Amino acid sequence: MKGWTSKGMLAAAIVVPTLGVARADDFGCSNATLKGIYAFGVTAYTPAGLPNGPPQVVAGIRVYDGNGHFKQRDYIGDSVPAQFSTPGQETGTYQVNSDCTGSDELDLNVPNSPPGTGIIKVLFVISDGGRHVHEVVSEFIPPFAPGRVPTQTSADAWKVASEQDD
């Protein structure tokens, strides 16, 4: 009996840490973690001489559907005319991983722009139970540009309060 108990404890000592490691990166996030209205601010530093040259600031509202799609409206600082983009003009898709990291792709939907341009790809981290999103641009292809341009762009988004946020 003593040998069986020792072997069982040894097996448990090996299996339990393994199970803990397998779940260490699973924080329970999914596409449904991002659902609702988020206000965001962006700071972008694109080299001079390229589209949207340095620096640039943006403020906006993004609506996540909880299923991997979003729409947004934004205002680029010093834009003429001074107004937010047309509702529904900017759309995108997103993917949230169980470890609360993720990515999205924003299609700027610029009329008459060539396919594959007017795209912003983002990597993000979700915090505060889905109420805060920290973002960096991983790839930027401006409308009508021949390819990607270098940029150092970051953004933060905060969920707009609702009855569900107690």
> pLDDT category, 163, cuts 50, 70, 90?
low
Assign residue 86 the CATH number of its domain. 2.40.128.120
Total count of domains within the chain = 1
Residue 56 lies in a domain: yes
- Tell me the pairing of strands 35-45 and 101-107: unpaired
Residue 129 lies in a domain: yes
State pLDDT tens for residues 129-148: 999 999 999 998 988 888 88
Distance CA(163)–CA(94), nearest Å, equals: 25
**3-class DSSP assignment, residue 6:** helix
Residue 10 lies in a domain: no
User: Looking at per-residue confidence, does 20 or 85 come out higher?
Assistant: 85
Residue 74 lies in a domain: yes
Which position has the token pair 């069982």? 8
Question: Is 60 exceeded by the pLDDT of residue 6?
Answer: no
The range of the structural domain enclosing residue 126 comes to: 31-159
